Chains A and B, each alone.
Chain A
Amino acid sequence: MGIVAVFLEVVAVLSFMLTVSLSVVVGPDRLWTALNDLPDRLRMAARPIGLLVAVLAINSQVRTTGVDLSWIIGYNITQLLYSIEGTVVATLQSAVPGWLTLYFGYVYVYGYAFLLVFPLLAGLVAAERRYLRHTAFAYIINYTIGMFCYLLFVSYGPRNYAIVEPFLFDMLPRFQLLTSQVNANTNVFPSLHTSLSVTVALLAIRDHETFPKWTPVAVVLAVSIVLSTMILGIHWATDVVAGTVLAVFSVWAVSSDRVASLFGRCQSLFDRWRRG
C-alpha cells in the first residue's frame, strides 16, 4: 500500500468518524440552522483558520528543512531523557496486553486526527465565535512552541534507543509511511500528540456546555493518545510531561483575560502604527 493509499484510507475513516460524531454531538437541528448561515460562519472562521494553516505550512517546512539546522544548533538530549526516566516507557509497554496495543495503534493515527479536526468543524458550524477562535489559537501556540523546541533539541524516541519494541510499525507498518512524511524521527521533545490532545480535552472541559456529549469523548481519546505515544515506543515520558505543560500553557493563554487585553493592546498599537 503506497503513501497515497494510506492517506486515502485515513481520510475515508476520518470523514466517516466526523460525520457520525457531528450528527450525534452537535445534533441535526443545530447542523441544519448552521447550514443556513454558513457564508457568515465561513467568513468569521477565515482569519483563525487561515492563520492556523499558515502556521502549519511554516511548521511543516521547518520540520523538513529544519532537521539539518537542528543538527547544527540543537542539543542532542536523547541520553538526558533516558537518564531522567530510564525504562519507564518499556515498563509501561510490557504492562499492556498485545490486543490492546492494536487499539492504541489506531487511536494514535485515527483518534488523533479526529480529535484535532472535530472541534474546528464543530466550532465552525455550531458554536459561538469564541470556540473556534480559541481552538485555533491554542493549536497555533502548540505548533509554534513545538517547532522551536524541535529546532533546539535533537532527540530520538525510545524506539530508536532500542529500549522498547517499535509496536506501531510492527503491527501497522503502513502508518510509518505516513508518520515519516509528517515528521522526522528526531522531533520527539515535546510530544505534540500529547500537547494537542490535552489541549482539546482541556478546552472541551472548559466549554462543557457547548457540546456536553463531546467532553467524555475528548477526554477518553486524549488519555488514550497520550498513553499510545509511550506504549507505541514513539515518545519518552518526559516528552509527554513537557507536552502536557505546553497544553496547559496554551489553554491558559487563550483563556486568560490578561493575555487577551495584552493582545488587544498590541493590535491597537499595530493599527495605530499602520494608520501612521
Chain B
Amino acid sequence: MASRSGGDVGVTRRSVVAGLTGGLAASSGCLSKIRALVGRSRPTTVSLSIKTLPVDQDPYAIAIARQLSAWLDAAGIQSTIQPITAEELYRQTLINHEYDVFVGQFPGSFTDPDAFYSLLHSTYSVESGMQNPFGYTNLLMDDLLERQRRETGRARTETATRIQRRLVQVCPFLVLGFPNVIRAARTDRFTGWNGVFDPSPVNLLGLNHTGDSATRLRATTPDDRPMANLNPLMSSYRGPSDITELLYDTLAYRYRGTLYPWAATNWEWTGEDPLELDVTLRDGLRWHDGTRLTASDAAFTYRLLQDTSLGSLSESVPTFRFRGRSSLVESVSAVDAVTVRIQFDDCSRQTARRVLTVPLLPEHIWTDRTNKATVSGVDVGVTTTDALVTSNIQPVGSGPFEFTSVTQGQTLVLEQFDDHFLQTSEETGLPSALADGPAFEEFELQFVGSDSSAVNLVANDEADVTALGVGPDLTSRIGRADDVSLNLDRSGAFYFVGFNTRRPPLTNPRFRNTLARLVDRRWLVESVFDGYVDPAVSPLAGTSWLPADLAWEPSNPVTEFLGSGGTVDPKRAREAFRAAGYRYNEQQRLLRS
C-alpha cells in the first residue's frame, strides 16, 4: 500500500512541476512541448516472475527455471524464481492466472491435433483451468483450430502442420522436450514395468506377478495432491499419470495408440448431418456404491462437463478440464438403459471419437454438486459450483479400483473393484494385458518427501515402484540395488515454458518469439536432463502429425539460439529485441516501452 501511494505522490509532484513550469513558459509558446514531455510516463524495465515446482516435487523444473533466468538476465531481462508447492502453484497459474512465466510438465499427453483446440482457442482465454491457461487469442489460429475439427485425411494433416508452424512463431508456450522418465521398480514381486504409468496408470493392469503371493502394489510419489483431492474435474490437482483414472471408467480407452471400447461394448455412427453416434454400454456395469451405471449417467456426464450448474445459475460454469472434448458435443440423450446418443457440433468422426475418453460420473452423486459453491454457507462472490470445489473424497466411480482409505498427506489406498467388467466379463475385446485384470488386489500410493527417499524405499523393499520420475543423479543407486530395475519411459507429458500472454510485454508475439530464441534446448538436454529427454519444439513431436521441418535439430532455424554453448550472446540478444521494436536503458536493461 505504501509503495502505491508513493507512486501517486510522484504523479502529483510531476503535475505540480508541470503546472509551475507550464505557467512560466506559457508566454514563450513552448507549452505544447512541455506537455508532450511531462505527460509521458517514465519507461520501466521488464521484470518477469518465473513460477515452478521445487526440486522435491520435480527433479528438473527449477533447474530449467534457473537456467532460463540466467539466459533472460544476459538479454537484460530481470526475473525472479518462485518455487511453489504443486497444489498452490496450479491454483495460482491455472485458476487465477497469476503468473508471468511457468516452467513445468504438461499434465497429460498430447496425441491428437484437436488437443490444441482447448489449449489455444480464444474463447477459452477468460476461463479458468487447463483450457487456454496462456490467455492466447488469435482469430487466425481460432479458424485453423476449428478447421482441423471438420477436416479429415491430408487436409487435416496440412491444417495441423499450419497450427504447429504458427505455434513456434507466436510461442504462447515453448515445448522443451519429452522426458525419459526414470523409475525404480522391484522385480521380485511384479514384472512388466515399462509403460505402466504412461500415459495412464490404467496400464498398471498390464503388470504380471512373479508367482509370489503379492497382493498389494506399493507405489511412492513426491506429489501429495492425490491424498488431498480426487476430483477428476479439478485441473489444479491433476497431473501426468493421474490416479483418478483408476477410479473412473471411460467409454473408450486408448492403449498403445489404439482406441478400444472400455465401458462401452461398441459404438455406431447413426447420422451424418449432424454427426450422430450411438454408444452401447456393457451389461451389468455398476458404480462402486453398488448402484447401476446406465446410459443416463453417461448422458449426465456430458451435460455436467459443459455446465456444472446444469443451467441452474444464470451463467454456465464450465469444468477446469475436458473442455475441448465436451465442446464437441451438441446434445446428448439416453435412448435406453444401455444406449447413449451423442450429436456433435460440426466435426469429423476422427475428432468426434475423442469425447469417448472423458471419465464417467455418477448422476446420483454429482447431481447434488451443481449448486453455487459457498464457504460454510457464506457466498464468497465467486461463481463456481460445488462440483468444482469438492475434494471428492470418498470418490464413487466405476473404474477397476475403488477407494479404500486416505490419510491426509500420507497414503492413499485403493482396492480392486470386484464388480468391474474386467472381473465379471469373459470376453472383453480388450488386449490381453488389460483384459486379464490387475495382478494385485490393493494399490497403495505413499507420499515421500523427495525422489531419493522414494528410491531408498524401493531399494529396501518397502515400496515396489516410484510412480513419478526421479532425478538422473539416482540412476546409479537404482542400478546398485538388488532386485530393482531401472525403467525408462518416454513420457508424453512434455516440459514447457508457458507465458501468460495476458500481461505485457508477454502480450506481444514478437517479444515471445525473441524470448524463445534465448532458450538453448541442446544445453538443457546436457546440463539439466543429463540426456534423459528428447528435445522437441512441438507438442505433437513423436506422432505422425509432426511436419518434418519442425523435427528438432540444433541447427533448426525456427529455434535458432542467440548465443552458443548454452550462453546467450548479450549483443545478439539486444539486437534481436531492438529489431522487435524494444529499447534498452543505459544499464542495458530491456525497457517495457
A contact set with B: CB distance below 8 Å: 1-2, 64, 71, 76, 78-79, 82, 156, 159-163, 165-166, 169-170, 173-174, 176-177, 179-180, 185-186
Contacts and interface: CB of A to CB of B under 8 A. Distances in A.
Interface in B52-104: 54-56, 62-63, 66, 80-85, 88
Question: Which secondary structure characterizes the binding site on chain B?
Answer: mixed
Contacts of B66: 161-163
Contacts of A82: 81
Contacts of B449: 169, 176-177, 179-180, 185
B82 A78 contact: yes
B55 A166 contact: yes
A166 B82 contact: no
Contacts of A174: 456
Given A166-B452, A173-B453, A176-B456, 20 more contacts: A1-B460, A71-B84, A71-B85, A76-B82, A76-B83, A76-B84, A78-B81, A79-B82, A160-B54, A160-B56, A161-B66, A162-B66, A165-B473, A169-B449, A169-B450, A170-B452, A173-B456, A176-B448, A180-B449, A180-B453
B222 to A, nearest CB: 10
Contacts of A79: 80-82
B439 interface: no
Interface in B423-475: 448-450, 452-453, 455-456, 460, 462, 473
Q: Summarize A's interface: helix, strand, loop or mixed.
A: helix
Contact of B452 (A71, A161, A173, A186): A173
Interface in B290-343: none
Contact of A160 (B62, B460, B462): B62
Contacts of A78: 81-83
Contact of B55 (A159, A170, A173, A179): A159
Contacts of A160: 54-56, 62, 83
B450 A161 contact: no
A162 B55 contact: yes
A163 B83 CA distance: 13
A64 B410 CA distance: 12
B55 A169 contact: no
A154 B339 CA distance: 52
12 contacts: A2-B462, A160-B83, A161-B62, A162-B62, A166-B450, A166-B452, A173-B452, A173-B453, A176-B448, A180-B449, A180-B453, A185-B56
A186 B85 contact: yes
Contact of B88 (A2, A71, A170, A176): A71
A161 B62 CA distance: 6
B227 to A, nearest CB: 13
Nearest to B57: A160
B440 to A, nearest CB: 20
A174 B453 CA distance: 7
A138 B88 CA distance: 35
A1 B458 CA distance: 10
A26 to B, nearest CB: 37
A170 B409 CA distance: 23
A2 B463 CA distance: 10
A62 to B, nearest CB: 15
A166 B477 CA distance: 14
A166 B452 CA distance: 9
A274 to B, nearest CB: 36
Contacts of A1: 460, 462
Contacts of B84: 71, 76
A177 B55 CA distance: 16
B365 to A, nearest CB: 26
> In the complex, which of the residues B55, B63, B88, B409 has the most CB atoms of chain A within 10 Å of its own CB atom?
B55
Given A176-B450, A176-B452, A161 B83 contact: yes
A159 B450 CA distance: 11
Given A71-B85, A161-B83, A162-B62, A177 B453 contact: yes
A64 B407 CA distance: 13
Contacts of A76: 82-84
A176 B452 CA distance: 9
A179 B85 CA distance: 18
